[in-house]
Amino acid sequence: MDYEVIDAILAPDDRLELLSKLEVGQLLNTSSGGLYQVFRNCSLAVLNCDADLDDGHILLERYKDFDIHVRQVERGIKLELFNAPASAFVDGVMIKGIHEHLFSVLRDIVFTHDEITNNLNIDLSSSEGITNAVFYILRNARVLDLIRDPNLVVCWGGHAIDRNEYIYSKQLGYEMGLRGLDVCTGCGPGAMKGPMKGATIGHAKQRIHDGLYLGITEPGIIAAEAPNPIVNNLIILPDIEKRLEAFVRAGHGFIVFAGGVGTAEEILYLLGILMHPDNRGIPFPLILSGPESARDYFRHVDAFIGETLGPEAQKRYRIIIDDPALVAHHMRAGMDEVREHRIKNGDAFYFNWTLKIDHEFQKPFAPSHENVRNLALHENQPAYLLAANLRRVFSALVAGNVKDEGIRAIETYGDFEIHGDSSIMGPVDRLLNAFVEQGRMKMSADSYSPCYRIV
């Protein structure tokens, strides 16, 4: 099938105006050490927003003739686009929000390469160095300037939810907007778009004109979860681990909607952090919520957490079904607790420095077949470390389901093999089967073909 495309030349907005000749050369460098491929793929994802697609491999194949070049001119830079998705334009002019997102991609990729990856003063092998890197990326994007009070709610959930669950997420966003709460999501469709869309109406009714709709993503997932156009601040972190840390450092409270393996990964990441002994006593509002149709989803997730991480983990969240106003009320009250705690302990409102994130949650995990086979999925370890390893299982399944690199690995080497104690593997198998039965694994396929085997 042919898809309509368009060529264009774009001037930057205030997100990035100047690049050195060296930086331009790096962006045009197609070798393995160059930035061209990651810049091209992220740009294509941004241009393809609102598409009914969650497969990065299909997206890259669909627009394989797409190209993007950076051109230096006397007064700065311009972007040249060739065979770009026509849906990003109206009457030949690029939609303003997509234009902003495109230059946010450019800004973050250049900054991460120059100031993070190749900065000898940042030790990315240490926990402190990784946290500082996340802080620098957020600061460079000017997001921290916008977080003046604890009111940023991170919303996680599936991009492939049904219409009823999407409407619920929008209703909850509306209730949050009425209470002056801002929204941060993974920036894609579904449960990432709904809360933002609802919050815009709530903010408008309260005459809040500077609402923050923050989207945080990373190069590996952006093609499957293209930024929705409501996002008014988009940030690209270099990998999933730094993306997750950005959420918990910048956010003040969390709402989790129904989703699939990606949402399970996020829940396990957050619970693992909250269960660390150093984080006892830190207020961290966490609510799992959805309409009546999502009750079974949360029942299975709650049972899985109880069987693997235990009752202590279950105490760190509450489940509220079919009551968006109540969720927003509790979240608003939780923000007040966060504010008092930050003031009492001298912690910043814009970045949660006090929260302890163990290095096991920060180390990038490459979802190779060997790494998945060798995960420590046994009971003889602290619960927070088991959560870290379980998080990696679901991260691998996200890669095998929707990421171009992961899909290619499955095609080449077969399914991932997940090994572990039967007491752990049983609950994992039951949860994954429940996701398949509920149709929560992949939206671009009529039937789901698993990319894993439980051993």
Same domain? For 182 and 228 the reply is yes
Average pLDDT over residues 76-91: 89
Q: Quote the domain boundaries for residue 72.
A: 5-113
CATH number of residue 449's parent domain: 3.40.50.450
Structural domain ending residue among the three candidates 71, 95, 113? 113
Average pLDDT over residues 103-132: 93
Asked if residue 445 has pLDDT above 60, the reply is no
Structural domain ending residue among the three candidates 62, 88, 113? 113
What pLDDT does residue 334 have?
97
| CA pair distance 427, 434, nearest whole angstrom | 10
Lowest mean pLDDT among 68-82, 143-157, 344-358, 379-393: 68-82
φ, ψ (nearest 5 deg) of residue 430: -65, -40
Asked if residue 443 has pLDDT above 60, the reply is no
What pLDDT does residue 77 have?
83
Nearest Cα residue to 258 out of 289, 228, 227: 289
**Residue 244 placed within a domain:** yes
Arithmetic mean of pLDDT over the chain: 90
Residue type, 425: M
- What confidence tier does 424 reach under pLDDT thresholds 50, 70, 90? very high
What pLDDT does residue 78 have?
86
Same domain? For 105 and 178 the reply is no
Same domain? For 70 and 154 the reply is no
End-to-end CA distance of the chain: 40
**Residue 130 placed within a domain:** no
Average pLDDT over residues 223-227: 80
212 close to 393: Cβ distance less than 8 angstroms? no
Same domain? For 344 and 445 the reply is yes
Same domain? For 277 and 424 the reply is yes
Average pLDDT over residues 324-346: 96
- What confidence tier does 299 reach under pLDDT thresholds 50, 70, 90? very high
Average pLDDT over residues 332-337: 96
Lowest mean pLDDT among 64-73, 103-112, 292-301, 425-434: 64-73
- What confidence tier does 70 reach under pLDDT thresholds 50, 70, 90? confident
Same domain? For 235 and 103 the reply is no
Same domain? For 178 and 80 the reply is no
Same domain? For 354 and 402 the reply is yes
Helix axes 383-402, 261-274, angle to 10 degrees: 160
**Residue 141 placed within a domain:** no
- What confidence tier does 62 reach under pLDDT thresholds 50, 70, 90? confident
356 close to 279: Cβ distance less than 8 angstroms? yes
Same domain? For 324 and 215 the reply is yes
Domain total of the chain? 2
What pLDDT does residue 224 have?
75
**Residue 127 placed within a domain:** no
Same domain? For 103 and 183 the reply is no
| CA pair distance 434, 428, nearest whole angstrom | 10
φ, ψ (nearest 5 deg) of residue 155: -110, 120
| CA pair distance 112, 117, nearest whole angstrom | 6
- What confidence tier does 55 reach under pLDDT thresholds 50, 70, 90? low
190 close to 158: Cβ distance less than 8 angstroms? yes
| CA pair distance 138, 216, nearest whole angstrom | 10
CATH number of residue 21's parent domain: 3.30.1850.10
% of residues, the chain, pLDDT over 70: 95
* Beta bridge pairs of residue 117: none
Burial class (CB in 10 A: 0-12, 13-18, 19+), 32: exposed
What digits encode the pLDDT tens for the residues 392-423? 999 988 888 777 778 888 888 888 888 899 99
Asked if residue 56 has pLDDT above 60, the reply is no
What pLDDT does residue 449 have?
72
Average pLDDT over residues 303-326: 97
Rg (CA), the chain: 21
Tally the C-alpha atoms within 13 A of residue 454's C-alpha that lie toward its C-beta. 15
Average pLDDT over residues 49-73: 74
299 close to 425: Cβ distance less than 8 angstroms? no
Same domain? For 154 and 104 the reply is no
- What confidence tier does 15 reach under pLDDT thresholds 50, 70, 90? low
Structural domain ending residue among the three candidates 113, 133, 157? 113
What pLDDT does residue 54 have?
55
What pLDDT does residue 75 have?
66
% of residues, the chain, pLDDT over 90: 64
71 close to 78: Cβ distance less than 8 angstroms? yes
Same domain? For 35 and 175 the reply is no
- What confidence tier does 17 reach under pLDDT thresholds 50, 70, 90? low
For the question of whether the overall pTM of this predicted structure is more than 0.75, the answer is yes
Asked if residue 446 has pLDDT above 80, the reply is no
